[in-house]
Amino acid sequence: MRRVLAAAVLAVAVQPLAAREIAIGIRVTGELRLGDDAVDRARQPTEHILGAAGLDVRWLDCRGDRADEEACQRPVAPDEFVVTLLSVRSDRDSYGCGVSQHPLDGTRGSFITVYADCVRDGADRLHVDEATILSVTFAHEIGHLLLPRGHAFSGIMCGWPSALDWQRAERGGLLFNLRQIPLLRAAALARQQAALALAPED
Ligand SMILES: [Zn+2]
């Protein structure tokens, strides 16, 4: 009986993670000079982090000659995040390699900037793949735009990840926690519904 109950509890706990009907878009723009194909390789670990929270990802690559001009010129949808990759950064004061922009009027934020020199320095200093730092930065900044403001003490929303956290990230173990996941999914679902309401009817 106890075993059945435990299995039932586990099923309830795992079920929301298994449902993948909520998707967000990530539109990558700008220019980022990193080793080989770090940005392409960052896709899979980004999908892993967000997928563990039950979010699917649609990518739109608007970098240089890869850009699908028509798609890249479309207005940004409510369920879409625009990541601008910059080759340099003017200040090195903040800890993270990314910045997300929150509109002052409380409306949805959709814009994220990621700095290449920070990603490169972090990879050298921490001995982790640039793609790992990129994927953690993408997911962390999207987390800032979907979750209540602020950092957590541990996990992907930690503001000051330790070397151990980065090793965990390399193994795909730096994730959103169980308290953040329902909030993340609810916010993403609200954006998805807003996007559907705006979509032109066929
Ligand atoms: Zn942060």
Name the DSSP class of 45: H
Residue 70 CA to ligand 1 centre (angstroms): 32
Compute the distance between CA of residue 133 and CA of residue 17 in angstroms, rounded to an integer.
24
> What's the mean pLDDT when you consider all of the chain?
85
**Model pLDDT, residue 112:** 95
CATH code, domain carrying 177: 3.40.390.10
Inside any domain, residue 142: yes
Inside any domain, residue 81: yes
Inside any domain, residue 4: no
Task: Name the pLDDT band for 80 (thresholds 50, 70, 90).
Answer: very high
Compute the distance between CA of residue 137 and CA of residue 51 in angstroms, rounded to an integer.
15
Residue 141 CA to ligand 1 centre (angstroms): 6
Inside any domain, residue 58: yes
Q: Residue 159 belongs to what domain range? A: 21-191
Compute the distance between CA of residue 103 and CA of residue 110 in angstroms, rounded to an integer.
9
95-151 pLDDT per residue, tens? 678 999 888 887 889 999 998 888 888 899 999 999 999 999 999 999 999 999 899
Task: Name the pLDDT band for 1 (thresholds 50, 70, 90).
Answer: very low
Inside any domain, residue 144: yes
In this predicted structure, the answer to whether residue 32 has a pLDDT above a threshold of 80 is no
**Model pLDDT, residue 114:** 92
54-74 pLDDT per residue, tens? 999 999 999 877 778 899 999
Lowest-confidence pick of 28-32, 148-152, 168-172: 28-32
Burial class of residue 200, CB neighbours in 10 A (0-12, 13-18, 19+): exposed
Number of domains in the chain: 1
Three-class secondary structure of residue 28 per DSSP: strand
Residue 145 CA to ligand 1 centre (angstroms): 10
Residue 195 CA to ligand 1 centre (angstroms): 26
Inside any domain, residue 112: yes
**Model pLDDT, residue 34:** 62
